[in-house]
Chains A and B, each alone.
Chain A
Amino acid sequence: MTQSLIHARNLTKKFGDFTAVNGIDFDVVKGESFGLLGPNGAGKSTAMRMIGATSQRTSGDLTILDKDPENFGPQIRAHLGVVPQQDNLDTHLTVTENLYIYGRYFGLSRKFVKGKIEELLTFAQLEEKRNAKVESLSGGMKRRLTIARALVSEPEILMLDEPTTGLDPQARHILWDRLFRLKEDGVTLLITTHFMDEAEQLCDRLVVMDKGSIMAEGSPAQLIKDYSTKEVLEVRFGSERNAQMAEDLRQLCDRIEELPDRILMYTEDGEELLERVYKKDFHPKTSLVRRSSLEDVFLRLTGRTLID
Chain B
Amino acid sequence: MILSTAVAIAEARMGKPGEKYYSGRSWAIMERAYIAFKSSTWMIVFSGFIEPVLFLLSFGYGLKDLVGDITVAGQPIGYVAFIAPALLATSAMNGAIYDSTMNVYFKLKHDRIYHGMLATSLGPMDVALGEIGWALLRGFSYAVGFMAIVTPLGLIPSWWGVLAIPAAVLIAFGFASFGMAVTSYMKSFQQLEIVNIVLLPMFLFSGSFYPLSVFPEWLQTIIRLFPLAHAIDLVRGLTLGNISWALAGHAMYFVVMIVVGLFFTTKRLNALFMR
Contact = CB atoms under 8 A, between A and B. Distances in A.
A186 interface: no
Interface in B1-48: 2-7, 9-11, 13-14, 19-20, 23, 25, 28-29, 31-32, 35-36, 39-40
Contacts of A88: 111-113, 115-116
B5 A154 contact: yes
A107 B35 CA distance: 16
Given A75-B11, A102-B116, A108 B6 contact: yes
A92 interface: yes
A93 B35 contact: yes
B2 A77 contact: no
B123 interface: yes
Given A54-B274, A105-B25, A105-B121, A86 B112 contact: yes
B247 interface: no
Interface of B: 2-7, 9-11, 13-14, 19-20, 23, 25, 28-29, 31-32, 35-36, 39-40, 111-113, 115-123, 273-275
A101 B7 contact: no
26 contacts: A54-B118, A72-B14, A75-B7, A79-B7, A82-B119, A84-B115, A84-B116, A88-B112, A88-B115, A90-B32, A90-B36, A90-B116, A92-B39, A92-B111, A100-B35, A104-B31, A105-B32, A105-B120, A106-B10, A106-B120, A107-B10, A107-B28, A108-B4, A108-B5, A108-B9, A155-B6
A54 B28 contact: no
Nearest to B275: A55
B112 A101 contact: no
A77 B118 CA distance: 9
A107 B159 CA distance: 42
B120 A77 contact: yes
B9 A77 contact: no
Interface residue tally on A, bucketed by range: 35 or more
B23 A107 contact: yes
Given A77-B120, A77-B121, A78-B6, A104 B20 contact: no
Given A84-B115, A112-B4, 6 more contacts: A56-B275, A75-B121, A78-B6, A78-B121, A90-B32, A92-B40
Nearest to A13: B275
A202 to B, nearest CB: 21
A52 interface: yes
Contacts of A84: 115-116, 119
Contact of B35 (A72, A82, A97): A97
Given A90-B32, A91-B111, A93-B36, A106 B6 contact: yes
Q: State the main secondary structure of chain A at its contact with B.
A: loop
Contact of B23 (A71, A74, A91): A74
B35 A78 contact: no
A79 to B, nearest CB: 6
Nearest to B25: A107
A167 interface: no
A74 B115 contact: no
Interface in A50-103: 52, 54-56, 71-75, 77-80, 82, 84, 86, 88-93, 97, 100-102
A228 interface: no
A109 interface: yes
A104 B4 CA distance: 12
Interface of A: 52, 54-56, 71-75, 77-80, 82, 84, 86, 88-93, 97, 100-102, 104-109, 112, 149, 153-155
Most buried by A among B29, B119, B122, B274: B119
A149 B6 CA distance: 14
Contact of A106 (B2, B9, B40, B115): B9
Contacts of A73: 20, 123, 274
A258 B119 CA distance: 43
A105 B28 CA distance: 6
B199 to A, nearest CB: 25
Contacts of A75: 7, 10-11, 14, 121
Contacts of B113: 88, 90
A73 B22 CA distance: 10
Given A54-B274, A90-B111, A106-B6, A74 B122 contact: yes
Most buried by B among A72, A91, A92: A92
Given A55-B275, A105-B28, A92 B36 contact: yes
A88 B120 CA distance: 13
Nearest to B31: A104
Contacts of B112: 86, 88
Contacts of A55: 274-275
Nearest to B35: A97
Nearest to B8: A78
A149 to B, nearest CB: 8
Contacts of B36: 90, 92-93
Contacts of A78: 6-7, 9-11, 120-121
Nearest to A106: B6
Given A74-B20, A84-B119, A90-B111, A109 B4 contact: yes
Contact of B116 (A79, A89, A109, A155): A89
A107 B121 contact: yes
A106 B116 contact: no
A90 B274 CA distance: 20
Nearest to B4: A112
